Amino acid sequence: DVEIILITDGLTVITLTLAVNFFTRKIAPFRAIIIGTLITSLSWLILASHASIWAAVLSLFVLAMGEIIQSPRYYEYISRLAPPGQQGTYMGFAFLPIGIGSLIGGWFGGRLIHYFGEVRHFPAGMWWTVSGVGVTTALTLFVYDRIVGASVAVQEE
């Protein structure tokens, strides 16, 4: 059963990226980033509500769908922000959140596992917390978009 969990994300991304991108192509890049982030964040609530192999598979499938919506549009958005001749620099900095996430993720995840697994004996709380962080991120992006008009500004170029 472990192998089905391990292949779910990659298989979903490989098989559905073209179709999902076709259906989401008319959504402004920044809005697609927000939608993808929200879907990815909420995917963990499936596992929080029912801890099983198939709940994990479904969580990872939904996560992959959010990833498919968010990831390509993120790089599209970053490349459109870049002044002519600086696209490479901007694309390099686009990986900064991934680096920060890798730096913080292990520490944060370890804390969550310890607290919700060993102290509280409430593993679902970990997934609620992870979802909460993601939903907060999506809401922050939404507010940023409303204030700055990020999706409109890049769309009009």
pLDDT tens-place string over residues 30-62: 999 999 999 999 999 999 999 999 999 999 999
**Domain boundaries defined on the chain:** 2-155
How much is the pLDDT for 156?
A: 53
Joined tokens for residue 5? 């969990």
CA angle 45, 61, 112 (to 5 degrees): 40
Tell me the Ramachandran region of residue 52: left when phi exceeds 0, alpha when psi lies from -120 to 50, beta otherwise.
beta
Query: What's the mean pLDDT in 114-130?
Result: 97
Report the CATH number of the 2-155 domain. Answer: 1.20.1250.20
pLDDT tens-place string over residues 124-157: 999 999 999 999 999 999 999 999 886 666 555 5
